[in-house]
Each structure stands twice: as structure tokens, then as C-alpha cells.
Amino acid sequence: MKCDPSAMNNYPSAHAGFTKIYAETNPPWDIGKPQPPFVTIAEWVVSPVLDAGCGTGGTSLFFAARGEQVTGIDFVEEAIRRARVKAKECGIAVEFLIKDAMTLGEWDKRFASVIDSGLFHIYAGAERQRYVQGLAHVLMPGGRLFLFSFNDDPTWPGGGVSRQELYAAFKNDWDVESLESVGGKVNPAFAAAFPDEFVNKKMWFAIIRRTE
């Protein structure tokens, strides 16, 4: 299967695009476990934890298995259905909700940590701004966002986020504590459909603190 990430790169088409992908397959990003940097920094992630755009829940389940209190949200029903099945099979308690991350600004829940593994980079312009404002709303002062995002490596066809864009998005109410280039992984079933540059591609991993 070919995956055209640029087709998901704006909000109105994103829901339809993601719904189609989950209906057809186990998506390329779904490796059934967290992307490697989340494992490296696991002890920094403290409860309550929000996994924004949690997909089928691999990262949420990893942190819940470590004893954290985790809420995973995704706007695709099928993704949340699969996440709930996995949680039941593993006997791990996670709150999985069908929820649009664009509505975080109207939510009454608060979190000490937010995981974003592949959501922020989908949106640009006003949508990105709205998402970041929503993150500032749900993160407790002093809480941290752990962000795994495409960088602006030109070999990635869907575009990405430059260092400048990332700092610009998190300039008010935020302190970018670290920003590193890290390796990403894809579901092995899709390796052939992706350029080699992607499989070994450098992604951003940022730890961003909500200032008090």
C-alpha cells in the first residue's frame, strides 16, 4: 500500500484520511510500542498523562504498564476501538476516548505530562496554533510536553517542521528544554513503501515545559 502523508496535511481532510487508513490497514506508524525516545525518557513522564493522537494505544499502554495514569485520545473511532481491545487483552487500565485534539482548549481535564507522538506535525498555521493553545490549557503549569515530530528533512514528501517553526510555535508560555534529532521507526510491513531515508530518518524529539 502507498501512503501519501501530504494528503493528511490539513485539518478538514485529516479525519477522512486517517479514518480511511485505519479502516484499510494497520498504519505505517503503528509499531505496537512507543517510538524509541519515549522509552529513553520514560521516567520523566509523570501522571496524569495525556497521549494526544494515541492511535491504537501502544505508547499509552507502555506508560500505563509503568504505573502511570493515562488518558489516550484520538479522533478516529477505529483507532480507539483497537486501543480498548489491546488494553483489555493486556489487563491494563487506560482511559481511551474518541476526542478531537482541536477541542483541548475547551476541556476541563488537566495533565502533568502530554505525549505527542506524530500529531503536532500534521497541522500548520492557525490549526497548529489552536492545538498548541489547547496543549497550554490542559497542561498543568510546570508540566511537560514530550514531542516526536517530523523535522524538515526535504526527503520526506509530506513536509515537516523546521527548528525555527518549532520554537515559534512554543514561544509563549513554554520553555523548550531540549530538542534533539532522533531515529524513527515504521511498521516493518510498510518498510518497502517508504523511502529508506524515512526508515532511518531523523525526527525531532523535544521536551517542552509549560511555564508557571
Question: Where does this chain bind ligand SAM (CB under 6 A)?
Answer: 14, 18, 29-30, 53-55, 58-59, 73-76, 79, 100-102, 117-119, 122
Of 63 and 75, the one with the shorter C-beta distance to ligand SAM is 75
Of 68 and 74, the one with the shorter C-beta distance to ligand SAM is 74
193/195 Cα distance (integer angstroms): 7
Least distance (Å) between residue 89 CB and ligand SAM: 17
Of 189 and 211, the one with the shorter C-beta distance to ligand SAM is 189
Of 17 and 143, the one with the shorter C-beta distance to ligand SAM is 17
For residue 64, the one-letter residue type is: A
Closest CA to 152 of 191, 196, 197: 197
Closest CA to 83 of 75, 99, 67, 94: 94
For helices 58-65 and 77-90, give the axis angle rounded to 10 degrees: 30
Least distance (Å) between residue 212 CB and ligand SAM: 27
Least distance (Å) between residue 176 CB and ligand SAM: 21
Least distance (Å) between residue 70 CB and ligand SAM: 12
Least distance (Å) between residue 99 CB and ligand SAM: 6
CA triple 10-154-31, angle to 5 deg: 65
Q: Quick one: cell of 97?
A: 476516548
129/124 Cα distance (integer angstroms): 8
CA–chain centroid gap for 79, Å, is 13
Of 118 and 160, the one with the shorter C-beta distance to ligand SAM is 118
For residue 153, the one-letter residue type is: D
Least distance (Å) between residue 34 CB and ligand SAM: 7
Q: How many CA atoms lie within 13 A of 88 on its CB side?
A: 6
Of 57 and 143, the one with the shorter C-beta distance to ligand SAM is 57
